[in-house]
Structure 1
Amino acid sequence: MYVTISAQKLEGSYPQSVSGYVAYLEKENEGVSKEEMEHFFNQYGEAINREEVIKEIDSNTAKLKKTEPKFYSITINPSQRELRAINNSVTDLKRYTKAVMEAYVTSFHREINGRNVTIADIKYYAKLEHKRYFKGSDTEIIENQKYASEILKLKQELRKFPMEIQSAQKGTQPTAKKAKLVKQRELHKRIEQLEREAPHQLHGKRIVQGMEKPGNQSHIHIIVSRKDATNSVSLSPGSTYKASKVTINGKEVKRGFDRNQFYKDAEKVFDRMFAYNRNYVESYKARKLLKHKPTKFFLKVLQLPSNEKALALKLLKEQQVPVTTIPTNKVQLAIKALKQVKKGIDVGIRSSSIGY
């Protein structure tokens, strides 16, 4: 389970309205029947329309400066393995989202009127999406890039040919034009060859940015207001404070949001709700260790019981973390091999959201 929290930005600044983000989240509803549409929902309602979302979020920004975020975006990205475990069920994903938001409020080190923050104190709207598209940071796009660049260069060269050459038929042109026609055909053949040779293909075509990703890609976007439901208290998951106290006007006030705890709890909620047997490498704890202490991470993987280790290595390979060079039986050789795979670690972490 890969969960993120971010303050939405537009050209380097925080948007003063949520309308643009809502419009973005409505993109999958374009061109589909009413029965197939996914609508916004929250703890208390289903089929909430976009106008209500915009009105409720935009009117809940009292005393916030233009330089402060008015809302936050939370994304819940189950892996394909997790989605298979629940049969990609829309009902289960929505039920899980509501449980995650319960975990969200308990991650605040805050009090409202002398009590802990509850689900009734926040204003949020969630939207389920079923598609994802390849983007520039994906491994497939990065590794296809040299082919894409050469293809683009060849196509630019093709555009230099006059239209009469581009549409000419063999045997109908003078010698000079025939030479250009041969050159043109050579360029077309080279382009076709590069298209075939690109390492990442989907349905017989080179993977390019904007192409829809295969398999189950269901994920959830959540818009949560910076202010509480009464529009009087600021609840920021972007706080740099995990759990602390500060004195304001002579009164001691709790502050902070524990992101680590929230990410762990979101994972635990899924496992508990769906009796999911999580492998070590699927855990937030493991991803964090992989990012900061890769050697320790791989040694931990190698020390797993045989069945768990086999699955872990399989999942890592599917996440495109280069583990083929890591021996599974000699720890010292494994440490040496780690130096060869560090370049792939960040890619693996990015891929973990939906890769396995």
Structure 2
Amino acid sequence: MYIGITRQQLGENFRGSVRDFVNYLEKENEGKAPKLQELYFNQEEHGIDTERVIAEIDANTAKLKKRDPKFYSIVVSPSQRELEHIGNSPEKLKQYTRELMKAYAASFYRDREVTVKDILYFAKLERERTYSQRDREVRENQSYATQILELKQRIWAMENGEEQGNIEQLQERIRVLDRDAPHRQNGKRIVPGMAKEGHQSHIHIIVSRKDVTNTHSLSPGSKFRISETILNGSTVKQGFDRGRFYRGAEKTFDSKFGYRRNFVETYHARNLLDKDPKHFFALLLGLPTHEKQLARQLLFRAGVRVPTFPVNKTQLAHKALKQLKKGIGKALESGTIGI
């Protein structure tokens, strides 16, 4: 499960409206009949149209400064293994999102309990994902893409009389490079922007910076997990515990759908990789045989090679450790491994 929280992107004009982001999320609805379009939902309702989303989010910004983000975006992107487990069911994903938002609310540290009823949010299901520069397939195809671009630039120069050469030979070299690129899909070289095969369902959530009363700020972007400050002579609690949220997201999915999560899919594993990689690999190599085999399969699918030769569980060669951490880190960033 990959979950990302992003603050509103404010350009030079610091426009506060959510309209541009909502319009961006309409990309999968383009060209579809109204009854086939995917609409928004929240904790209690479904079939919510874009204009209501824009109106309610934009109106819920009392006392926020010009440069303050007015909303946050949460992307909930299950791995293909998780999607396969729930049959890629849109309804189960929506049910999960509603439970997830309870964990989101509970992760705020405030003087009073924050519940999902305090959160103003709208969520939308999308069924497609595209390759980006972070994906292993794109990265490993990049050297071929670079050479192809250079050859195309030379052809353009020849066609415009700026360079001499054999255009047909260069075109043939382009065809060979395109053919020999290591990662292809449906006979085509994988490039950024290409739609991914298989189950790719995920959820976009737009959540207001302010609570439903437009009174209290609930920012998941707080740099504090748990903190207290003095305001007008009184102690005020503040902060958002992302670790608690991510752990709650995992626990919710696993318990709701009976999912058995492998070690390399856990938030705990990701934390260990960042803070104590030697311990991460010691635990990885110490898993029961069947769990270790599954972990290797998941990492292999993500393009990460785990050593099969004997390795001391408390120490790894520095070079091997560095290479493995880099490989797993990139797989995590691209969402290939569901952590």
TM band (smaller chain): over 0.9
Structure 2 unpaired stretches of 5+: none
Q: Do residues 79 (structure 1) and 79 (structure 2) align?
A: yes
- What is the CA–CA distance in structure 2 between the aligned matches of 1:332 and 1:235, rounded to whole Å? 43
**Residues 60 and 208, structure 2, Cα contact 8 Å, conserved in 1:** yes
Q: What SS class does the counterpart of residue 126 from structure 1 fall into?
A: strand
Larger radius of gyration: 1
* Pick aligned residue for 1:133 from 109, 130, 133: 130
Report the Cα offset of residue 355 of structure 1.
6.5
> Which residue type is aligned with residue 335 of structure 1?
L
Describe the shift of the 1:13–1:287 C-alpha distance in structure 2 as closer, same or farther (beyond 3 A).
farther
Could you tell me the percent identity over the aligned residues? 51
Q: Do residues 318 (structure 1) and 301 (structure 2) align?
A: yes
> Which residue type is aligned with residue 331 of structure 1?
N
**Residues 10 and 67, structure 2, Cα contact 8 Å, conserved in 1:** no
- What is the CA–CA distance in structure 2 between the aligned matches of 1:90 and 1:131, rounded to whole Å? 13
- What is the CA–CA distance in structure 2 between the aligned matches of 1:11 and 1:196, rounded to whole Å? 41
Describe the shift of the 1:162–1:72 C-alpha distance in structure 2 as closer, same or farther (beyond 3 A).
closer
Q: Deviations over 1:273-299 (max 9, x none)?
A: 000011111101111212332222111
* Pick aligned residue for 1:279 from 247, 262, 273: 262
* Pick aligned residue for 2:234 from 251, 262, 269: 251
Report the Cα offset of residue 123 of structure 1.
0.4
Q: Do residues 268 (structure 1) and 265 (structure 2) align?
A: no
Structure 1 unpaired stretches of 5+: 166-178
Describe the shift of the 1:353–1:319 C-alpha distance in structure 2 as closer, same or farther (beyond 3 A).
closer
Q: Deviations over 1:191-245 (max 9, x none)?
A: 1100011111111111111111111111111011001101111111111111222
After superposition, where does 1:160-179 map in structure 2 within 5 Å? 160-162=157-159
* Pick aligned residue for 2:312 from 310, 331, 343: 331
- What is the CA–CA distance in structure 1 between the aligned matches of 2:313 and 2:92, rounded to whole Å? 44
- What is the CA–CA distance in structure 2 between the aligned matches of 1:12 and 1:298, rounded to whole Å? 44
Q: What SS class does the counterpart of residue 123 from structure 1 fall into?
A: strand
- What is the CA–CA distance in structure 2 between the aligned matches of 1:162 and 1:7, rounded to whole Å? 46
Partner of residue 118, structure 1: 115
- What is the CA–CA distance in structure 1 between the aligned matches of 2:10 and 2:236, rounded to whole Å? 32
* Pick aligned residue for 2:324 from 325, 341, 354: 341
Scaled by the length of structure 1, what TM-score is found?
0.89
Q: Deviations over 1:138-178 (max 9, x none)?
A: 22222211111111121122223459x9xxxxxxxxxxxxx
| Count of equivalent residues | 335
Q: Deviations over 1:21-71 (max 9, x none)?
A: 101111100012333311110002101000000000000000000111100
Describe the shift of the 1:328–1:304 C-alpha distance in structure 2 as closer, same or farther (beyond 3 A).
farther
**Residues 327 and 334, structure 1, Cα contact 8 Å, conserved in 2:** no
Partner of residue 33, structure 2: 33
- What is the CA–CA distance in structure 2 between the aligned matches of 1:45 and 1:198, rounded to whole Å? 47
- What is the CA–CA distance in structure 1 between the aligned matches of 2:13 and 2:324, rounded to whole Å? 37
Scaled by the length of structure 2, what TM-score is found?
0.93
